[in-house]
Amino acid sequence: MEFVDVCALESIAPGGSRAVRAGGRDIALFNVDGTVHAIENACRHGGAALAGGKLCGRIVACPAHGWKYDVTTGAHSIAPSLSVEKFPVEIVDGRVRIATVNATQESI
Ligand code: FES
């Protein structure tokens, strides 16, 4: 598994989020009580970006119509078949690194 650097840890405040792109994937990062989680940044309903959605604990509400996902697992709140992908995260020297298939850094 190869991890790629995507952003500084300090750029995601606790309770906050941000969008990044790595390995050809749009990824939403969420800081839940100091731990960063990475999930696919596209709601299964209409494709809206989940980064920037209201985060309540570990649950993010899609900003478009409110579908809810657990950012620690990518699980949809009601229907498991509608879950989004979760990506491994590591923090190295204050930097957030994500593992994706064909991971290559594309933008920060
Ligand atoms: S696009 Fe996310 S709930 Fe509709």
- Return the best residue to mutate from 39, 50, 67 for the ligand 1 pocket (most ligand atoms within 8 A of CB): 67
Q: Quick one: pLDDT at residue 100? A: 85
The closest of 32, 78, 26 to 48, measured between CA atoms, is 26
The closest of 23, 29, 16, 15 to 91, measured between CA atoms, is 29
Closest-lying ligand 1 atom to the alpha carbon of residue 67: 3
For the chain, the maximum distance between any two Cα atoms, rounded to a whole number of angstroms, is 37
At 10-55, the pLDDT tens digits run 999 999 999 999 989 999 999 999 999 999 999 999 999 999 999 9
Task: Quote the domain boundaries for residue 45.
Answer: 3-107
CATH number, domain containing residue 89: 2.102.10.10
Q: Quick one: pLDDT at residue 99? A: 95
